Amino acid sequence: MRKDISRRTFLASTAASLGALSSLPHEMSRHGPSGTPSSSPLGAPRRPYGDRSPYEKSARYFKPSSTPGTGASRTPLQDLHGIITPSALHFERHHAGVPQIDPRHHELMIHGLVERPLIFTMKDILRLPPVSHIHFLECAGNTASDQLGQPGSDPQMSHGLLSCSEWTGVSLKTLLDQVGPRPKASWLIAEGSDASRLSRSLPLAKALDDVIVAYGQNGEALRPEQGYPLRLIVPGWEGNVNIKWLGRIDLVDQPYMTRDEAAFYTDLVPNGKARMFTFVMEAKSVITRPAGGQHLDGPGFYEIEGMAWSGRGSITRVEVSTDEGKTWRDAELSSLVLPKAVARFRLPWRWDGSELSLQSRCTDDTGYVQPTRDELVSVRGLNGTDHYNGIKAWYVHRDGKVSHV
């Protein structure tokens, strides 16, 4: 009879193959695992809608707004597992608070340069063939503080206006096929039903490509903060055009220079001109562990982990540098890798106790390589702070502290 490999032997051989492990799991006692046993023989009762363990405290971060109803909250990227952001931790950006909309009374009107203007109730929309896709959403202004040379102190503060969900809804093309765009129609204006009536112009070509009119997020209805009961998902494009609480789509023959594409969401460049309708969020990556705000327990083995995404397509490569960008090593893509979605990367690493920086650089399937901050700032300057996607560095100090400076 073959004797099972003992845990001690297994750990010893693993440790030998990995080099010195910084912290081994504890040896098992003779009496089995030593967790905290429940004091009562019976656990908690069932409940109709689940909540996480009271020991889990990860939360969105936001400052109180000076203007009521406006502001953003950030996703704790450093705490997430896998590629999906829990709906309750999805980043937020509001312009007039979160409206409470009764889906029985919500309607989507599609009109303008169409053959048959139509009003869809939620019931109408739910009867149409559904699609589900995993896509990231990112605010155009995510990582602006890194561009300005005031980098966020941890992944949440530097890159937290990014989340990734499975979105379910009806393809916008399905709805547009029903109204029949007229030949002159080349753009549309999408408008939200919140008090700010946030509206953006979108090219019809994108609308007919991969845009989703979504009612589902991660297996259930959208959260109110994410546009309940209906929102646009415009894969790979800046968060602001993914209109929440969607109530109206007007087909037109040109962009309409709405407030959020004239006064805001334009990118001022050094010659005094502004880039407009900069929709695509370009390839970006961030190491989430070890990262700012974390601590290494002495020299030894660590797993470098992070996230990469591109609004142009799929991530094909992530490289990591631990020597100020002098040399780069390929990380492993360790998750599902989907177009216009967050991908995970990992690289085993042995810290020798010296001061160094940790950086990641991603490439997407168009061949686009994430640039350095210097490269970006030399072209775009520091006036426009949207669409910054420079390489991010975290700094490891001798005492094991990891920080943003």
Q: Which residues bind Co ion (CB under 5 A)?
A: 140, 238, 278, 386
At 336, list the tokens.
């599902």
Q: Where are the beta strands (DSSP E) in 146-192?
A: 162-171, 187-192
CA 136/CA 239 separation, integer angstroms: 9
Token pair in block for residue 334? 């360790």
How many C-beta atoms surround the C-beta of residue 133 within 10 A?
19
Whole-angstrom distance, CA of residue 26 vs CA of residue 304: 22
250 vs 261, beta carbon nearer Co ion = 261
What's the start-to-end Cα distance of the chain, in Å? 58
> Judged by CB, which is closer to Co ion: 89, or 139?
139
CB of 279 to Co ion, least distance (A): 6
Output 191 or 238, the one with its CB closest to Co ion. 238
Nearer to Co ion, 305 or 364 (CB): 364
Residue nearest to Co ion (CB): 278
Q: Could you give the CA distance from residue 377 to residue 19 in angstroms, rounded to a whole number?
A: 41
User: What's the min distance (Å) between Cβ of 140 and Co ion?
Assistant: 5
Nearer to Co ion, 227 or 384 (CB): 384
Taking the complex as a whole, the smallest distance from the CB of residue 58 to Co ion amounts, in Å, to 29
In the complex, minimum distance from the CB of residue 387 to Co ion, in angstroms, rounded to a whole number: 6
Cβ contact 398:355 at 8 Å = yes
For residue 380, give both structure tokens.
């775009």
Residue number with CB closer to Co ion (319 or 386)? 386
Q: How far apart are CA 212 and CA 292, in angstroms?
A: 35
Number of H helices, E strands in the chain: 8, 23
| CA 49 to chain centroid | 25
Query: Could you tell me the smallest distance in angstroms from the CB atom of residue 164 to Co ion?
Result: 19
Q: Smallest distance, Å, CB 261 to Co ion?
A: 8
